A and B are shown apart, each in its own frame.
Chain A
Amino acid sequence: MCDLRSKAPRMHAMAGDGLELLSLVEEFVVGQQDSKAEDIATGVTTGQFTILKLVEGLGSVLTSCEPRTRGRGVQLLSSVIQQCYANLQEQEVQVLTKFYENRLKDHYIITPHVLQGLKSLTMSPALPSGLAVSILGSLFQDIHVQSLMQAERFCVYSILLNLMGSCEGELKGLGANFVFGFIQAMDGEKDPRNLLLSFQIAQNIINRKYELGTFTEELFEVTSCYFPIDFNPPPNDPHGITQKDLVLSLRAVLSGTPQFAEFLLPLLIEKLDSDIQSAKLDALQTLTACVASYGHKELKEFLPSLWSSIRREVFQTASEKVESAGLSALHGLTACLSRSVLTCDSEDSLETFLNLIVKDCQHHLCEPDLKLVWPSAKLLQAAASSSFRASCKISRVVVPLLLEQYNHHVQSTQRRTLLEVLQKFIHSAKRSPVEEGGESSLAEYRQSLCSVVFCALSDSSSALQTSGLRTLMAIGNHPGLLFGTDIELAVDHLSKFILEDVDNETSLVAMEASGSLACLHTTAFCSRMVPALKEKILSDCLGGSGETPPAKSQQALFLRIVRALAAISTHPNLVRETVPILLQVLSASHTGNVQIRQEDVISVCQNLQCIVELAQGSEESACYFHETVIPYVLGLSLQAAFHKRTLSPLREEKVLSALVPVFSAASGCSQHMLAAQTASQILMLFLVGDATFLPENNVPQNVNLLKSHSDNSAQTQLVCLLMGCVCSLPINAELPMLDQLLTELEELSCTCLHPFTYTSAAKCFAGLVNKYPSGQKLDQLLENTLTRIDTILTSTEPSSSSNQKQAFTFLLWLTKALLLRYHPLSAPLTDKLLCLLVDPSLGTLAADGFALLMNDPPDVLNKACHADVRMMYRQRFFTETAPKLVQGFNSSPKEMKSSYLKALSHILNCLPKQVLISELPALLPLLLEGVSCPDSEVQLSTLSCLHPLLLDIPQVLTLHLETLITKLLGLTSSAAMKIRIMSLRCLHALTQLPLHVILPFRSRTLRALAVPLDDKKRLVRKEAVLARGEWFLLGGPGK
C-alpha cells in the first residue's frame, strides 16, 4: 500500500510536467509574475523541462498579435536562456538564434528582450560555426544602435565582444565590413559604461589585426573624438568607472597602431597647444605611449612641431607633472628614432632631431644664473638617456661646453650650477645602455672632468665643494672615468674634508662619497685614507695628556673620524683596517690613559655596530668579528667589571647598552655556526667561569657572573652582553645548559636590586622563552616562573614588596615574549597587567608598559634578532585588549582613568592606520576624553594619535567637530609647548574636511588662532601661522 501510494504521485507528476510548464508560462505572461521565469529556468537546468517544450508551450504567446504579449513571451525565453545557455545543444542554439534574428525585425518594444537572448546565445559554447556572421549581419542591418536605450546598446557591444572572443576567424572573414558595422554602431555613444566596452572592441580590432580596409580614418575619428576625456563621475556612482579607466582605455586604442599616426600626431599637437592642463598632460602621456610602436617614418613629418610644443611646456609650465610628462615624451621620441633602421638614401632623422634640440637648448647652458638653464639641461638629459648614440652625440656637444663655461665663469654660484648640471649628465650617461665593447660616451673627457672636480674641491665656497663632492661620487661610480693617480688624489681630498673643520653638510657629503667610492676603490682607501685617519685620531684626539679636557673642535673631529671609519668599511679588507683602530680607542678609554667623554665612547660602540651590520653578508668579516672583535670587547668589559678602582667607561650602563647591539648584530649574522660557537663560549663563561677563550684573560677564575651579591652590580650587569649574544641566535639554534641558564636568570631578575641588571636578566629570559620550543617543558617552566611572580606581586609583607618592581618588570617582558609568539598564556598575563593599571604604586609603570608591548625593542625580541614575531600581533592585541581598556575606563573612579587612557593611546599610536580607521569611531569618545584629561602626557599622546587620523580620515570626526575644535583651541594655550604645537597641527589638519562641514567654524577659529600668533615660542608661532593660513584659504577663491 505504502509503495503504491508513494509511486502514484510521481507518475502523476511525470505526466503533469507539461501542464505545470504551461501553467508557469501562463502565470508569467498573463499573471505578470517575474519569479516564474526563475522556476522554469531551474526546471530546465535540472532536466525537468526542455527548451523545446518551453518554445512549444510559448507557441500561442509568441504568435499573438499583441506586441506586448509577444514581448512578454520573448522575455521569458530570454531569461531562461540566460540561466542555462551553457547546457544548450548545438541544434537548439541554431534554431533559437534563427528565431531571434528574425525577431529583430519585430516591434521595437520586443527588441530589448531579443538582444538579451542573443547575448546569452553568443555565450553558448555550442554556437555552430557560421552563425556569428549571420548574427552580425542581422544586427548591423536591422538595428540602429544609437537609437536604443543604454542597456540595449550595452547588450549589442557585449554581443560583439563575445563573438570576437569565440569566432575570431569568422569575423575576420567579413573583411572591413565588420569594422564598418562597429563604427556605425558606436558612432555617437555617450555612456561611460558603453564607451569602456566599445574602446575594448576597438582595441581588439587593432591588436588582433582585423582588416581596417578603407575605414582606418573613420575608426580613428569615431574614437579620437573623445580625446581628451573629460569625465566627472556623479557622486555615489554605483558603477565605479573613473576618469582614469576611460583615459587609459582610450589611450590603448589611439596608441595601438602606427596606422593612426598621421591622424593622431596633429591631434596631440593641437591639444598640447591648448590652455587646459589636463589636456596637455593626457596628450604628452599618449604621445609617450604611441612612440613605443612608431618608427621614424611616422614621426618624421611632425618632429619639428612636436619638439617646439614639448620645449614650450617644459620651459614655461608651472606644473611638475606636465614637466615630467614632457620629458618622458621627449625620451620616448628620441628612443624611437634611435631604434629606427635607416635606409641608405634617407636622412639620419635622429641626427637632425638631436641637432634641433641642441640648437635650442645649448645657449641656455651658458647663462647659469637664469631660470632656463635647468629646463634646458633636463631636456638634453632626457634625450641623452634614451640611447647610446644619443648620449654620445649630446655629450660631445654639452660636456665640452659645460667644461668651458665652468672655466669661463668665476663666481662660485655660477660654477656650482654648471657643476650640478654636469653631474646630472654623468648620471644620465650612465643610464643610457653602453654598446657592446664600446667605451662610455664620457671617456674622452675623463681628464678635464677630473680636473674640474678637483678645482671645485679646492675652492673656498663650501656650496661649490659640496657639488664637487657629488660630482666626484658620480664620476667614481661611472665605469672607467676615475683611475690611477686621480683616485689617490680624490681619496686625499676626501680625507681632507673629513679631517678639516668644514661645514656640516660638506662633511656629511664627503662621508657619503667616501662610503660609495670605498667599495670600488678599496686599495686606495686602505693605503691612503685609513692611515691618515688613524694617525690623526691617535695623535690629536688620544695623544693629549689626559689632564685638560679636549676642546670642542677636537671632539667634533673625533666624531667625524669615527663616523668616517664606519662609512668606508664596505669591504672585508677595509673592515680589517678600520675595526682595530676603533678597538684601540676603546682600549685606551678603558685604561684611562686619555680622557674620552662617555658620549664619544658610546659613538665608537655605535659605529662598531654599523660596521658589523654593514658586513652582515660577508663570511670573511663574520669570522673576524667572532674570532677577534667579540672576545676582545668582552675581555675589556670583564676587566672593567673586576677592577673596582678604575673609572673605565665600560662600567657605565649607557656604554654597555651601546655594546649590546654589536653583540646581537654579530650573533644574528648569516654565519650560524660561528654565532652558535661564540654563544656557547660566552655561556660557559657566565655559568661556569671558563674564560679561556678571552685574550689577556686576567679575570679571576670560576666566578659566577650571574650570582648577585650586595656590591657586585658591575659584574652582574654584564648579563646584558650575554643577552645580546644568546637572544639573537636563529630560532632553532641549540644552546648547552639552557635550562640552568633560565633558572639563574629567573633568580637574578626576581632578587637583584640593581635595576639595569634585573631588567637585562628579564629581557634575556624573555628572549629565550620566545624561541623555546612549545610543549610540556615550556608550560612547566612558565608555570613555575609565574607562580613566583604572583607570590611577590600579591604579597603584603614589607620585605617582599620591595621586590615588586622586579617582579613587575619580569612579568612585562615575559608577556611581551609570549604575546609575540601567540602563546595562549599571553592573554591571562595581559589581564594581570590590566589589573595592575589601578595599582597605586605600579599603575603608571603598567600604563607605560603597554608602549613596550606594542613597540619593537632595539636590542631583543625583534625581527633582526630572529625572534618569533607573528604577523599582525599588534592588531590582535588591540582587538583583544581595547574593549577591556574601555570597560576599565568606564568603570573606574576618576583619578584612575588616566592610566587607562595612557595605555590605550600607547596602543593606538603603534597600530597601522588601516586598522585604526575601522576601529576609531567606537573609540572616539574616549580619545576626546583624553584630550581633556588633566595629565599632560595623556593629552600629548592622544593628540599625536589623533593627528594622523585627521590627515587621513577627517570625515569620521565630523560628528564630534564642535567638541573637538573647542578642546583643541583650548589646548593652544596649554602650558607645555609640545601640546600647543600638536593641537595647532591638529587644527591645521582639520582644514581637509569637506568645506560645508568646516566652514561654519572658520571665523571663530580664525579669531582664536590670532592668539598663538603672539606666542612666546617661535616653534609654536610657526605652526599657528601655517594653521591660520590654511583656515583663511577655506572657502576663498583660488584654493
Chain B
Amino acid sequence: MAEGTRLENVNPLIYQRSGERQLTAEDEDEDFVDPIDDREIFDLIRSINDPEHPLSLEELNVVEQMRVHVNDNESTVSVEFTPTIPHCSMATLIGLSIKVKLLRSLPERFKIDVHISPGTHASEQAVNKQLADKERVAAALENTHLLEVVNQCLSARV
C-alpha cells in the first residue's frame, strides 16, 4: 500500500475465529439426512475476505452466527452483517460478496436476503435496497471491476 492510499480503519478490532465444525456420527451416517442449519450457512460466509484487510469477515465481526437464520423447509436464508465503522464505504461491496457467495453455494430453491444489522450504518436503507434488488445485483456483476473485487473476496487466500 503506497503512502497515498490510507486505509479507512487502520487498526480495527479483531475477534476470535470459531473452530471447524465438529464431525458427528450422524454426519458420517449414509442414511441420516443432515438439514441445512445456521452454522452451515455461517461456515459458508465466515471465511470471505475483507476487501481492505488481510482478515476474514468473521475476524472483523462483520458476520456472526447469531445473525444468520435459515429455514430449510421454507427455503429461506437471512443474513445480517455489521460494517466495522458506520461510514464504511465498503458496506455495499461486502454485502454483495456475501450475497454472491450464497447464490453460488446454495440450492436454487433458496430465497436469499442479505442486509445490514439495523442501526449500524449511516446509509443502511440505501445499501439494503441495492442488495435486495435482483436487477441491480445482476448489473453489478456485469461490471468487470466490481466482479474482480468480489472474486478476490471469495478466493481462497494463498
Contacts and interface: CB of A to CB of B under 8 A. Distances in A.
A binds B: yes
Contacts of B133: none
Nearest to B72: A1014
A977 B154 CA distance: 27
Contacts of B105: 1013, 1025, 1028-1029
A1037 B144 contact: yes
A1037 B146 CA distance: 9
Contacts of B136: none
A813 to B, nearest CB: 33
Contacts of A369: 13-14
Contacts of A1028: 104-105
Contact of A1013 (B7, B107, B149): B107
A275 interface: yes
A123 interface: no
A274 B2 contact: yes
Interface stretch (A232-240, A314-322, A478-486, A653-661): A314-322
A1021 interface: yes
A1038 interface: yes
A316 B4 CA distance: 13
Interface string B98-140: 0001001111110000000000000000000000000000000
A319 B13 CA distance: 19
A370 B12 contact: yes
Chain B, interface size: which category? Answer: 35 or more
A1019 B27 contact: yes
Interface string A1022-1034: 1001001100110
A371 B13 CA distance: 6
A828 to B, nearest CB: 43
Contacts of A1016: 33-34
A1038 B150 contact: yes
A1010 B107 contact: yes
B2 A1033 contact: no
Contacts of A392: none
Contacts of B16: 413, 463
A1033 B151 contact: yes
A925 interface: no
Contact of B40 (A977, A1021, A1032): A1021
A319 B53 CA distance: 10
B106 A1038 contact: no
Given A317-B54, A370-B11, A371-B12, A1037 B27 contact: no
Contact of B27 (A316, A976, A1017, A1038): A1017
Interface in A229-281: 273-275
A1018 B34 contact: yes
B54 A1038 contact: no
Nearest to B39: A1018
Interface in B1-23: 1-3, 7, 10-14, 16
A1036 B141 CA distance: 11
A312 B1 CA distance: 8
A272 to B, nearest CB: 10
A316 B3 CA distance: 11
A1039 interface: yes
B148 A1037 contact: yes
B152 A1038 contact: yes
Given A317-B1, A1010-B108, A1029-B104, A370 B14 contact: yes
Contact of B109 (A274, A371, A1014): A1014
Contacts of A1022: 43
A372 interface: yes
Contact of B54 (A319, A367, A1017, A1036): A319
B55 interface: yes
Contacts of A312: 1, 3
B155 A1039 contact: yes
10 contacts: A274-B2, A275-B2, A370-B13, A1017-B30, A1017-B32, A1018-B40, A1033-B154, A1033-B155, A1038-B150, A1038-B151
Give me the 10 closest cross-chain CB pairs, A-B, nearest first. Answer: A1038-B148, A1038-B151, A1014-B107, A1037-B148, A318-B54, A1018-B34, A1025-B105, A1038-B152, A1016-B33, A372-B11
Given A318-B54, A1013-B106, A1018-B27, 12 more contacts: A275-B1, A275-B2, A371-B14, A371-B55, A372-B10, A1017-B30, A1017-B34, A1019-B27, A1032-B104, A1036-B148, A1037-B151, A1038-B149
